[in-house]
Structure 1
Amino acid sequence: MPSDLFIVGGGPAGYDAAMAAAKRGIKTTLVEKEHLGGSCLNWGCIPTKFLLGAVASLAELEGQVKMKTASGQIQLDLPALVDRKKRHLEATRKAMAAALDKAGVQLVRGELKMIGAVKSVVTVGDEPQVFEYKRCILATGSRPAAHPGLKADHDAILNSGDILSLREVPKSLLVVGAGFIGLELAQFFSRAGSAITLVEAAPRIAPSEDEEVSKALHQSFKRMGWDIHTGVRIAALENAAGRARLVLEDGREFGADKCLLAVGRLPNSRNLMLEMLGAEVKGAGWVHTDEHLMASPTVYCVGDVNGRTLLAHAASSQGEWAVRHFAGELSDPYEPGPIPGCMYGAPETMRVGIMEAQAREEGMDVKISRSQMVANPIAQAHGATGGLVKCVWGEGRLVGVTAVGHGVASLATLGTVLVSQGWTHKQCEEFIFPHPTLDEALKAALLGPAA
């Protein structure tokens, strides 16, 4: 039966697009080959937060022990945690399916085999079926990257999906890649009892973040006992008698019970033959989109697969925007404004807008103001006083905020509002912040001397 809108992929972009279309009375079909929720729910954002939430009390206890105000032990039950995570994911997927059904969205469990301008072939069970539509939203997401010589064997060498199902904490864990995925999972296993060795090809960990943030993270993780190696290249990685063995190009060798490969993401665009529609596919398979998120005259491409911003909330924004564009509610180019990003754990990070290096590269009249977390009463109360909040000013307006430290991800929403509206120093002075709160670290940075 023909649909108005044919959506491929039930992750944040596809699911939110389907629900937005249903609210508008648009006849919609959603195809998902595996699990509703995509990588975010099943192997990314949500399960990793279940793990980090389970060791948050350990981080809190560390702070109190450091201040000599408490002592004791907290025992993690990893099998129970993994089971709880599994129950939550299953229940959430069930609730999502029920919501789609209630909204009138046709949910098809199958795999897209060939995409067309107004009809596509989907394998449902073992049978190919043809679906017709007016327009398609392609939201197939991404998967863990593998590079020559750096491939998961799903035994000793794991990807980010594999490691979430471990039921025993490895005594030693080798982490290849110091982006947010590697750092969040390394934090969990470190607090759960693993000895961490971290290897990163870039000159610093968290290489996409502000340099001051990277430095603060490095110092924090060194204090946690991590063995960190940056600016290095890997010559070999293998499963040696059930353990991971890594050799660097300089000859140094490391072994561990398990290795986590966290070396980026790749788009799920294989074998779709998008070029037949006139779409442009770049590099590893990233689908080029125009100013209206369209890869061809009838196909929108949203979320990770277009390579714009690999974040779940960015994907949802794009999916919902594509529906509004299809419905004729807007015609201007897609302009999401500043998109916040956070790393969770202890410490956390947040950033939104333009960082200092980019602002200077763009030739702005740049000024920087900061506050140190040690001056914040909430950070002091938790015994977690490392880190800072940093504000970037361009032409007299706030263009970026970044932070690292205790609970700073909670500053992301307010920071995004201030940056998106381009607040001036005077506006910040007139805004009342509640006391005592972590938000006051942002206030101190906004109102601090700028130079």
Structure 2
Amino acid sequence: MSDFDLIVVGGGPGGYVAAIRAAQLGFKTALIEKAELGGVCLNWGCIPTKALLRGADIAHTLKHAAQFGFALEAPSLDLAKLVGHSRSTAKRLSQGIDYLMNKNAVTVIRGHAKIIAPFTLRVSSDDGDQQYRADHIILATGAHARDLANIHVDGKLVWGAREAMTPTALPERLLVIGAGAIGVEFASLYNDLGSHVTLVEAASKIVPMEDSDVSTQLAKSFTERGINIHTSTTVEAIERHADTVTAELLTANGRTQITVDRVILAVGISGNIQALGLEDVKADTDRGFIKTDAFSKTNIVGLYAIGDVAGPPWLAHKASHEAVICVEKIAGVAGVKPLRKDRVPGCTYCRPQTASVGLSEEKAKSAGHKVRIGRFNLNANGKALAIDESVGFVKTIFDSETGELLGAHMIGAEVTEQIQGFCIAQQLEATDHELANSIFAHPTLSESMHESVLDSLGIAIHQ
């Protein structure tokens, strides 16, 4: 049996960050991973999808080049090259994490880990089984995509995220089931590349976790692009043919059928808690995820869980931040505070992009706040007009009595790069007046953030 001070199970954005921070704090640290370092996010999620979406942005730009005076012949897509760029980007970053493990003297152990007793793991690999002991074990095993009871990914006609990121041919007709962040990103991607996309969502709006105004604007933008949207709709059944799929949709107006070439299933995730030995040590779980306290402790002494496997929000940056908090609390670092989940920003990289932090207008009101709302449309922003990206808006929600920034919601070009300004404002407890008195550079898209704050005070300049 080999001993460590701290062992992390899972090498995704929560796990590898936990391992690095533990090593920095002087722990003898090991990281156990059965697949690629970087986890799903780096290898099959966050990073490679953004590489593909960059290709979609280029396709959109080429189609509208005449707006800027360029006459181009109809461009052709080399799908294999676009997919190759995505895969090479993921590979490069995964290798970079391997470098970071070596740099920080973290022992990387390959294999599948299972808890067999308190403080003890068994790791199974092609080389056999090996036991390891540590005073602290952090589970960062992530999550996997869910199937529907009546629809399962088969890799050929019904795709999960991996198949959707590595197509060998562009489907002419595509059905995307689920209009959360993953679903709308794939719908946007394939629409820009040339597929006829139908997007189905069981909830009453797409991106149902976002503020209603954002959902409405995104649905309008998608519809104008030719994406067919069906909300309050379920896929009751599918019939697989040789190279097509017929789907039966149940809508508010009755049943209808559509035939498509491929289906992408994007209906949520479940935690990777299987075969970890949680039942054997009686670790508490809840609806497929590991239960923890504010500092990622489970009900078992010495056992912790971070990231997707510990529940929402299911975001890589949440996992990384949670990792640091968990390790620093274990190490006794002074002043460590628990994660505030209401301050975790959410970003969706469709076109137009969406980004948000804090409470939506609906949630702020239901929580009992008296609110003041500010809004500024991008069609009044000089930079947005100059780059021909004037669709969208910035919406800010303040407590009318204290001036606290309760939430910010953005839709438009590059809003995922701008939302951090509102995150910092919340962290520093900046009020509406402090934000109003801040100077934003001109001409920038971020001026719309300032104008939204001014609008909440009734003193917007440019609308």
User: TM-score, normalization: structure 1?
Assistant: 0.96
The corresponding residue for 1:308 is: 312
Match 1:290 to one of 278, 285, 293:
293
Given that residues 172 and 256 in structure 1 are in contact (C-alpha distance below 8 angstroms), is that contact kept between their aligned partners in structure 2? Answer: yes
For residue 116 of structure 1, report the CA deviation from its aligned partner. 3.3
Given that residues 205 and 214 in structure 1 are in contact (C-alpha distance below 8 angstroms), is that contact kept between their aligned partners in structure 2? Answer: yes
Matched, 1:321 2:325: yes
Q: Secondary structure at the match of 1:90?
A: helix
Q: Which amino acid aligns with 1:276?
A: D
Q: Deviations over 1:258-279 (max 9, x none)?
A: 1100101111001223143342
Q: Which amino acid aligns with 2:194?
A: G
Given that residues 199 and 229 in structure 1 are in contact (C-alpha distance below 8 angstroms), is that contact kept between their aligned partners in structure 2? Answer: yes
Aligned partners of 2:196 and 2:184: how far apart in 1? 14
Given that residues 343 and 409 in structure 1 are in contact (C-alpha distance below 8 angstroms), is that contact kept between their aligned partners in structure 2? Answer: yes
For residue 379 of structure 1, report the CA deviation from its aligned partner. 1.2
Q: Secondary structure at the match of 1:276?
A: helix
Q: Secondary structure at the match of 1:363?
A: coil
The corresponding residue for 2:303 is: 299
For residue 70 of structure 1, report the CA deviation from its aligned partner. 4.4
Aligned partners of 1:71 and 1:418: how far apart in 2? 44
Matched, 1:259 2:263: yes
Given that residues 275 and 281 in structure 1 are in contact (C-alpha distance below 8 angstroms), is that contact kept between their aligned partners in structure 2? Answer: no
For residue 39 of structure 1, report the CA deviation from its aligned partner. 0.9
Matched, 1:388 2:393: yes
Q: Secondary structure at the match of 1:12?
A: coil
Question: What is the aligned-residue RMSD (CA, Å)?
Answer: 1.7
Equivalent pairs counted in the alignment come to 449
Q: Which amino acid aligns with 1:440?
A: E
Q: Deviations over 1:159-180 (max 9, x none)?
A: 1121111121111111000011
Aligned partners of 2:98 and 2:35: how far apart in 1? 13
For residue 317 of structure 1, report the CA deviation from its aligned partner. 0.6
Match 1:351 to one of 356, 365, 378:
356
The corresponding residue for 2:201 is: 200
- Compared CA separation, residues 130 and 449, structure 1 to 2 (3 A): closer
Q: Which amino acid aligns with 2:46?
A: C
For residue 449 of structure 1, report the CA deviation from its aligned partner. 4.0
The corresponding residue for 1:218 is: 219
Alignment of 1:47-446 (within 5 A): 47-62=48-63, 65=66, 67=67, 69-72=69-72, 73-125=74-126, 127-249=128-250, 250-283=254-287, 285-295=288-298, 296-330=300-334, 334-336=338-340, 338-394=343-399, 395=401, 396-446=403-453
Stretch deviating more after TM superposition (171-180 or 89-98): 89-98
For residue 58 of structure 1, report the CA deviation from its aligned partner. 2.6
Given that residues 211 and 409 in structure 2 are in contact (C-alpha distance below 8 angstroms), is that contact kept between their aligned partners in structure 1? Answer: yes
Aligned partners of 1:414 and 1:75: how far apart in 2? 38
Q: Secondary structure at the match of 2:32?
A: strand
Given that residues 174 and 261 in structure 2 are in contact (C-alpha distance below 8 angstroms), is that contact kept between their aligned partners in structure 1? Answer: yes
Q: Which amino acid aligns with 1:162?
A: E
Aligned partners of 1:424 and 1:388: how far apart in 2? 21
Aligned partners of 1:115 and 1:403: how far apart in 2? 47
For residue 417 of structure 1, report the CA deviation from its aligned partner. 0.9
Q: Secondary structure at the match of 1:252?
A: strand
Aligned partners of 1:446 and 1:407: how far apart in 2? 19
Aligned partners of 1:43 and 1:349: how far apart in 2? 21
Q: Deviations over 1:190-221 (max 9, x none)?
A: 11110001111111111110000000000100
For residue 69 of structure 1, report the CA deviation from its aligned partner. 4.6
- Compared CA separation, residues 298 and 384, structure 1 to 2 (3 A): same
Stretch deviating more after TM superposition (174-183 or 118-127): 118-127
Matched, 1:11 2:22: no
User: TM-score, normalization: structure 2?
Assistant: 0.93
Q: Secondary structure at the match of 2:90?
A: helix
- Compared CA separation, residues 26 and 238, structure 1 to 2 (3 A): farther
Q: Which amino acid aligns with 1:412?
A: I
Aligned partners of 2:445 and 2:200: how far apart in 1? 32
Given that residues 322 and 339 in structure 2 are in contact (C-alpha distance below 8 angstroms), is that contact kept between their aligned partners in structure 1? Answer: no
Q: Which amino acid aligns with 2:199?
A: L
Aligned partners of 2:239 and 2:149: how far apart in 1? 12
For residue 25 of structure 1, report the CA deviation from its aligned partner. 2.1
Aligned partners of 1:87 and 1:68: how far apart in 2? 32
- Compared CA separation, residues 123 and 371, structure 1 to 2 (3 A): same
Given that residues 152 and 158 in structure 2 are in contact (C-alpha distance below 8 angstroms), is that contact kept between their aligned partners in structure 1? Answer: yes
